[in-house]
Amino acid sequence: MQLLLYTASNHNEILVRKACEQIFIRLIKDWCNCPAEEKVPGFQKFIIESLFLFGEIVLAQKVMYEKFGDELLLYFLSKGFPSLHCSKPLVEQYCQKLQGGDMKPSKSSYRSLI
């Protein structure tokens, strides 16, 4: 997992980074049915704490929100983005847009955070 995470953010070829992101999206869809039932113990916590750092990860965060619900938003609001010194109003705006169906506003909101 750590190598996949490292490659998703640091590889010099964009296609390799995007492939790694797609693998994460697939793992989230396959391994995370609901918060009470983890197929791989610890994966949900790992993915919430690690994956939110990447700039082109809004789609994965959308899937994470669908799987984890308010637990993900609570992490974003209480620990994730505040640790990056992001303003609370921007974080709240991003979380609201993440809950909606349109990805374009979510991407622009994420860029303003990072």
Q: What integer pLDDT is reported at residue 53 of this predicted model?
A: 57
Q: What integer pLDDT is reported at residue 63 of this predicted model?
A: 80
Find residue 38's DSSP bridge partners: 32
pLDDT surpassing 80 at residue 111: no
Q: What integer pLDDT is reported at residue 90 of this predicted model?
A: 85
Q: Residue 38 belongs to what H/E stretch?
A: strand 37-38
Concatenating the DSSP letter of every residue in 16-77 gives: HHHHHHHHHHHHHHHHEEETTEESSTTHHHHHHHHHTT-TT-HHHHHHHHHHHTHHHHHHII
* Banded model confidence at residue 114, pLDDT cuts 50, 70, 90: low
Q: What integer pLDDT is reported at residue 34 of this predicted model?
A: 63
Q: Do 14 and 56 contact (CB within 8 A), yes or no?
A: no
Average pLDDT (14-23) is 84
The length of the chain is 114
pLDDT in tens, 54-78: 545 677 788 888 888 889 899 988 8
